Amino acid sequence: MDKARHIKIFICFFLTLITFLVYFQMKNHDFIVYDDSGYVTNNANVKKGLTYKSIIWAFTSFESANWHPVTWLSHMADYDLYRLNAKGHKSTNLILHIINTIILFLLLNLITGELWKNGFVAALFSIHPLHVESVAWIAERKDLLCAFFWFLSIWAYARYVTCQTKKRYALLVIFFSLGLMSKPMIVTLPFTLLLLDFWPLERIKIFNTDKQLFCKNFIYLLKEKIPLFVLTLLSSIITFFAQKSGGAINSFDCLPLKKRIANAAFAYIKYLFKTIWPDQLGVFYPYPNIQPCIIIICCFTIILITVFALLKARKFSYVTTGWFWYVGTLIPVIGIVQVGEQSMADRYSYIPLIGIFIIISWGASDIIKKFNCKKTLAGFFSVIVITSLCICTFFQLCYWKDSVTLFRHTVSVTANNYTAHYVLGQALKEQKKFDKAIYHYSQTLKINPGYYIAHFNLGNTFGLKENIKKAIYHFEQTLAICPEFAPAYYNMGQIFINQEKTGKAIFCLNKALSINPSMKQALYNLSWIYSTCNDGKFRDGNMAFKLAQKLCELNAIDQPLALDALAAAYAETNQFDKAVSTAEKAYNLTLLYNINDLAADIKKRLLLYKAKKTYRHADTIYYKNKTAL
């Protein structure tokens, strides 16, 4: 017993050490522009930290086309601890991955008792290159949390099996519910528990058992899991509406069922290939043009492996459980219900590959047993595999240093990947490498001419290069493809303001507000024009007041720019007392927020309002160089 305990401690220490050493370089990595902005860096609710309002938002929001409140709470807690220090957020991911690795090892040991085999499974899980995406990508915190509660749910189930009490079952339900609130991919857990009932728990006895007794026992095990199936159904319904509301679900008109099934078959085999030979891994894989003969081979291979797993269920039960674990847990993300535009994703393999790792570990052990020097051979095999994977994972992790490095690599290992070109353009634009950004936006449109957001960002980039003619051209192209895209009208309005073409600016800003009445920047700019424009024919105090008042109602009452606009509108409508009091509030806020240049401007206007004078100024985009709404 003492020896087994010491081996267990050694394996846990070894797993922690290799995981830490391989992933330690993450401390120098930055946020990724793709999704990290939506989950952390540009998410106003997350950046409030853990407050009453933000917690309520986490449980009621469908933002990012998902309902995963536990994931949101995790990001909020990280923001409270680290603010926008990427090192801290990535450290949390690494800690969770190490914890998941240790729990997986201890869990498998609990239900099988095979220390070394389970240690090898946990090692594969810990340092396989396919899992880099889930660990290195802050936005994929949901993968790590989902797996964490997945493992705890199975642990709770294993304890329940040994002593079937309501308290132990309640613990299972709690962990499963938390997993569903982290990432809905965990919906397959009840089916996986049935697989574990077959092996290794051996609660389902198929062989040498009376059929009537088998059916009775199987029905009992199904009934036992009814609360879990109910939670699965509820989560699936919520997830469907969340993803539909976020526009993440593709219709069958965009992507026919036949093509989805073909891609699913291809993806199942592709994941296996990448497991054995983890090369050319990218962050986004576009839908490939797959030859019919390849699809036939993939389908035939899947059927062949499935038949083998069923035929060998008596002698090699781990093959049956491992294979169906892999196939079953991938179903929610295999693309039959297509969410997003990717054909597959490395992160989707985080839990499913455990089934394959079990087959590899137990299968290798069975093969090695046939040789005389089995301990030496097992040790040699383990060292070679683990060392190779550590090296591969280390170099794969290097690509996650920053957005440019990651998406430049993705472009190089995939074909016709307009999404990767587009995000690379975004990253290069952030680095002010405008010419390179323009090249990749252009490549995006070459592959997908209807990708209007690339036109929009080309317009923005040309605007930053002060090539106004091309900027306006690309904004017009954006609207030709997507007439209801308000930001394109808004940006053209900004250009016309700078060119002092006030009439055209008003037209564009009004168009933007007709599409999105809550666009704060458009409300501010239009209100400012109506209040302060030098040309009297464009001034309209009443309209300015309505726009500024609405701006303040949109949670911007504590924003000095909104109050500055309202004060100008009060002055334009000869309500100077209100203009003075509102401007004073705006001035105090600028001092509080240390916006010194805006404070100086508001102070000048305040003196005018006290003298019962209105303010006139040609430059209407005050927010541009001072602070954002």
CA 325 to chain centre: 24
CA distances from 506 to 464, 497, 520, 545, 619 (A): 22, 9, 15, 16, 14
d(CA 72, CA 77): 9
Q: Would you say residue 307 has pLDDT above 90? A: yes
Question: Distance (Å, rounded) from C-alpha 608 to C-alpha 535?
Answer: 19
Report pLDDT for 556. 55
User: What would the pLDDT profile of 330-349 be if each residue is shown by its tens digit?
Assistant: 999 999 888 888 999 999 99
Query: Average pLDDT in the 423-446 region?
Result: 97
Write out the H or E segment, with its range, that includes residue 482: none
- Of 399, 420, 446, which marks where a domain is finished? 399
Instruction: Please give the distance of CA 485 from its chain centroid, rounded to a whole number.
Output: 24
Structure tokens at 109: 């040991």
Helix (H, G, I), strand (E, B) or coil at 249: strand
With respect to residue 278, please indicate whether it lies within any of the assigned structural domains. Answer: yes
pLDDT of 1: 55
| pLDDT surpassing 60 at residue 620 | no
What CATH number does the domain containing 555 carry?
Answer: 1.25.40.10
Query: Quick one: 145 and 36 in the same domain?
Result: yes
Beta bridge partners of 80: none
In a domain, 505, yes or no: yes
pLDDT higher than 60, residue 618? no
pLDDT digits (tens, 9 = 90+) for 65-114: 999 999 999 999 999 999 999 999 999 999 999 999 999 999 999 999 99
Please indicate, yes or no, whether residues 249 and 391 belong to a single structural domain of this protein: yes
| pTM (two decimals) | 0.92
Q: Examine the domain organization and report whether 393 and 513 are in the same domain.
A: no
- Which of 399, 430, 455 terminates a domain? The answer is 399
Altogether, the residues listed in the chain come to a count of 629
Query: Quick check: is 460 in a domain?
Result: no
Of 357, 373, 399, the residue at which a domain comes to its end is 399
E strands of 502-561, at which residues?
none
> Is residue 512 a contact partner of residue 479, using CB atoms and an 8 Å limit?
no
Does position 555 have pLDDT exceeding 90, yes or no? no
Residues 104 and 240 in one domain: yes
390 and 516 together in one domain: no
Buried b (16+ CB within 10 A) or exposed e, 426-436: bbbbeeebbeb
Classify residue 423: in a domain, yes or no: no
With beta carbons less than 8 A apart as the criterion, state whether 68 and 138 touch. Answer: no
Judged against a pLDDT cut of 90, whether residue 365 lies above it is answered with yes
Is 410 within a domain?
no
Rounded to whole angstroms, how far apart are CA atoms 184 and 200?
Answer: 26
Pairwise CA distance, residues 568 & 614, whole Å: 7
Query: Per the structure block, which two tokens stand in for 557?
Result: 């009452």
What is the C-alpha separation between 549 and 290, in angstroms, rounded? 56
Question: Can you give the residue range of the structural domain that contains 308?
Answer: 2-399
How far apart CA 525 and CA 505 sit, in angstroms, is 9
528 in the same domain as 393: no
Residue 76, domain member (yes or no)? yes
By the 8 A CB rule, do 606 and 583 touch? yes
250: pLDDT strictly greater than 80: no
> Is 393 in the same domain as 284?
yes
| 350, 221: one domain | yes
Evaluate whether residue 406 is within a structural domain.
no
Query: 368 Cβ partners below 8 Å, 6+ apart?
Result: 374, 377, 378, 381
* Amino acid letter, residue 379: G
pLDDT at position 623, please?
36
Q: How many domains does the chain have?
A: 2
The residues that bridge with 285 in the sheet, in sequence order, are 344
Residues 6+ apart with CB under 8 A from 316: 362, 363, 366
Tell me phi and psi for residue 264, to 5 degrees.
-60, -45
What is the per-residue pLDDT for 627?
35
Is there a domain that residue 418 lies in? no
Report how far residue 464's alpha carbon sits from residue 455's, in angstroms, rounded to the nearest whole number: 14
| Rounded alpha-carbon distances, angstroms, from residue 288 to 115, 333, 419 | 41, 17, 13
Q: Which residues contact 597 (CB under 8 A, 6 or more apart)?
A: 625, 626
Residues 384 and 528 in one domain: no
pLDDT at site 626: 35
Distance between CA atoms of 71 and 89, rounded to whole angstroms?
A: 13
Q: Is pLDDT of 624 > 60? A: no
One domain for residues 377 and 515: no
Q: Are residues 267 and 134 in the same domain?
A: yes
